[in-house]
Structure 1
């Protein structure tokens, strides 16, 4: 099983997850050309994608959805609210008939030989979700755009081999930065984004001996940077109420505009 961030950040998000038989994208918030270039580095052709899992309808997660799905006819999966949001997004153009498939959070479904477990997240979208993907006993998850976490989220992210988790902003950078006050409140709110500190604290609740890799994603261009996210999350793990230190696990930061390291489970 492989997990790879093709692009990650407030300017566009796209993640590959799959195995030898089934290839999926989670979000297509970049251009079709950039998606194809990313897949090419994975030695996967555009028409080999078996499905697109959409977390929510914000443009940095669906920008390339219309063009890509029209070219390759790839089935699209999202919650009822997300599909409504996609349908209302005029910039995508007309979506091909029959490609939009409604799913429900906490109701698993299969694509090829992968088992998909959507879980609800807290974000200012119509019905956003994250995804846990399993192949036999191998388990990975993509969890970004969540303003808060609770026991439900912790349960959804237990016993993973790898995770791509949001570390969106440094709270002090955001508070002192150029964003207008209402936007700062939105990002910091329960339906906004996880800070570096909260990302580290969430990891403290889900780490276990068999976790093979942690990828920090969806970093804000204005309110964060790679080294700060990396060091803050490591420190939170080391200081947290858990038996681990930050250096006990492979930890990386997803690249904004290029393909990140491929994680093989």
Structure 2
């Protein structure tokens, strides 16, 4: 498997993964034009996609979905509650492009098995994905207020993690957001902090883990350097040293990561 985190953050999210046979996009949280530019940067074309997987209906995950799906006539996969929540937001989609992907199931796309699992976020029925191919495993998890033991069991021992590290708690507490927004972010249906990301990762990193990408960083309440430092220090406190077995990587709201192999 090869992949790129095309965009990650509060302004828009999109993730691309491929094998020699399949090409999948998770979420379309940027405009159609921006998505085409991101694909050009990784030297890929949207018309070659096998399908689009949706995690939940928030705008930073579906902003360009309707436009891209209609323009390129791409199949869309989401669970029933997410479909109901987003249908009025994405415009008319032909019925032959709409598919149900229930939470807690495995769907096979050619030579990729995709496992969906529920997370804790203030959306209709948010879910994320683990990708399996050739004995390799990539886990994608953002937009969750906490990482439960059930979630950890599903994502544990992945070769690659794309993992939420949304905010620094003190930056958030001292920042400009209204208290109602701060309370939502800090809640069990909000977003995972840098420290909590490190603690959760300490429980799921396996011997085969090689890459961890810190994702969905808040532009107002976090910094790449701070996220990396906090996660590194938190892992070190558990006896796990970044750089020995695996490496930490940044993601960006507007610049894709380099295509990498799982």
Asked whether the 8 Å contact 1:233–1:246 carries over to 2, the reply is no
| Cα distance in 2 between the residues matched to 1:228 and 1:96 | 44
| Cα distance in 2 between the residues matched to 1:160 and 1:13 | 21
| Cα distance in 1 between the residues matched to 2:18 and 2:124 | 27
| Cα distance in 2 between the residues matched to 1:4 and 1:41 | 10
| Cα distance in 2 between the residues matched to 1:222 and 1:43 | 31
SS in 2 for 1:88: helix
Asked whether the 8 Å contact 1:70–1:95 carries over to 2, the reply is yes
| Counterpart position of 1:254 | 251
| Cα distance in 2 between the residues matched to 1:42 and 1:21 | 17
- Please list, as runs of the form range in 1=range in 2, the aligned pairs for 1:204-243 lying within 5 A after superposition: 204-240=202-238, 243=239
| Cα distance in 2 between the residues matched to 1:34 and 1:264 | 24
| Counterpart position of 1:75 | 75
| Cα distance in 2 between the residues matched to 1:239 and 1:246 | 11
Unaligned stretches of 5+ residues in structure 2 = none
SS in 1 for 2:96: coil
| Counterpart position of 1:10 | 10
For residue 160 of structure 1, report the CA deviation from its aligned partner. 0.7
TM-score by length of 1: 0.96
Asked whether the 8 Å contact 2:76–2:97 carries over to 1, the reply is yes
| Counterpart position of 2:96 | 98
TM-score by length of 2: 0.97
Unaligned stretches of 5+ residues in structure 1 = none
| Cα distance in 1 between the residues matched to 2:217 and 2:41 | 22
Could you report, residue by residue, the CA deviation over 1:136-182 in whole angstroms, capped at 9, with x for unpaired residues?
21110110000011110111111211011000000000000000001
Asked whether the 8 Å contact 1:234–1:247 carries over to 2, the reply is no
| Counterpart position of 2:39 | 39
For residue 43 of structure 1, report the CA deviation from its aligned partner. 2.4
Q: Does 1:176 align with 2:198?
A: no
| Cα distance in 2 between the residues matched to 1:88 and 1:189 | 27
For residue 261 of structure 1, report the CA deviation from its aligned partner. 2.4
Asked whether the 8 Å contact 1:236–1:246 carries over to 2, the reply is no
